[in-house]
Amino acid sequence: MVGRKSLDALIRLYALQSMLLALLAFVLAEGEQHFVLAGMALLLLKGVLIPRYLFWLLERLGVSHEVESYLSIPLSLLLGGVLVGVGFRVGSAFVLEGARLPEAVPVALSLILLGMLSMVSRKKAVTQVLGFLALENGVFLLALAETHGLPLFIELGVALDAFAAVVLAGVLISRIRAIFDHIDTARMRDLKG
């Protein structure tokens, strides 16, 4: 995710990642109904609806699909690698007794850190949203790995919040485009101190 130059590829990667997560939820569900339901909701919301919304938004705004970063690609890859290393190094401290899928904990941590890296290193507002979504997926993976997954109504509530946040961000991005004629958050710097 940190090395890609095209936004379309990023969104598709996110959709793929969400679908894989949903698959994992199905596997871990062992036929228990409410986990299957949570997995389906995830699949629909994060695998289909959010990516479609983002594509629609890019189309409507007519901005270039190129990812602009403060960092060069080699440097972001290097930093990404370092963060994954950190995720794996400290991961063991995060594995709780009775964790369901201890191997996934460092992966989840790395995903969270990579999401943060994309949020701070990218200039375009859409890419920051994608970073946040990756972070959110990391948190979901952590929940799957540590526990039997959160209770269904909590899971749905969390997903709903994420969806509302993305829609709200989309509205703001449209407004940024309309007022500034770009969606470059690096150039929004009136507020200081």
Q: Which residues bind another protein (CB under 8 A)?
A: 93-94, 96-99, 112, 116, 119, 125, 128, 132, 135-136, 139, 142-143, 146-148, 150-151, 153-154, 157-158, 160-161, 164-165, 168-169, 172, 175-176, 179-180, 185, 188-191, 193
Closer by beta carbon to another protein, 72 or else 94: 94
Radius of gyration of the chain (CA): 17
CB 7 within 8 A of CB 126: yes
Q: Judged by CB, which is closer to another protein: 49, or 139?
A: 139
Residue 66: how many other CB atoms lie within 10 Å = 9
What's the closest the beta carbon of residue 74 comes to another protein, in angstroms? Answer: 26
Closest approach, Cβ 57 to another protein, in A, equals 15
Task: Please tell me what DSSP assigns to residue 182.
Answer: S
User: Tell me, what DSSP letter sits at residue 6?
Assistant: B
Closer residue to another protein, CB minimum distance, 110 or 128 = 128
What DSSP element (H or E) covers 112?
helix 104-121
DSSP 184: B
Smallest distance, another protein to C-beta of residue 142, A: 6
Is 25 or 135 the residue whose CB approaches another protein more closely? 135
Closest contact distance (angstroms) between CB of 11 and another protein is 18
Place of tokens 């770009």: 182
Q: How far is the CB of 79 from another protein (least distance, A)?
A: 18
Choose between 72 and 191: whose C-beta lies nearer to another protein.
191
Contact 83, 113 (CB under 8 A): yes
What's the closest the beta carbon of residue 32 comes to another protein, in angstroms?
13
Q: How far apart are CA 99 and CA 103, in angstroms?
A: 9
Sign of CA dihedral 105, 143, 24, 109: negative
Cβ closest to another protein, residue 33 vs residue 72: 33
What is the distance between the alpha carbons of residues 86 and 83, in angstroms, rounded to a whole number?
A: 5
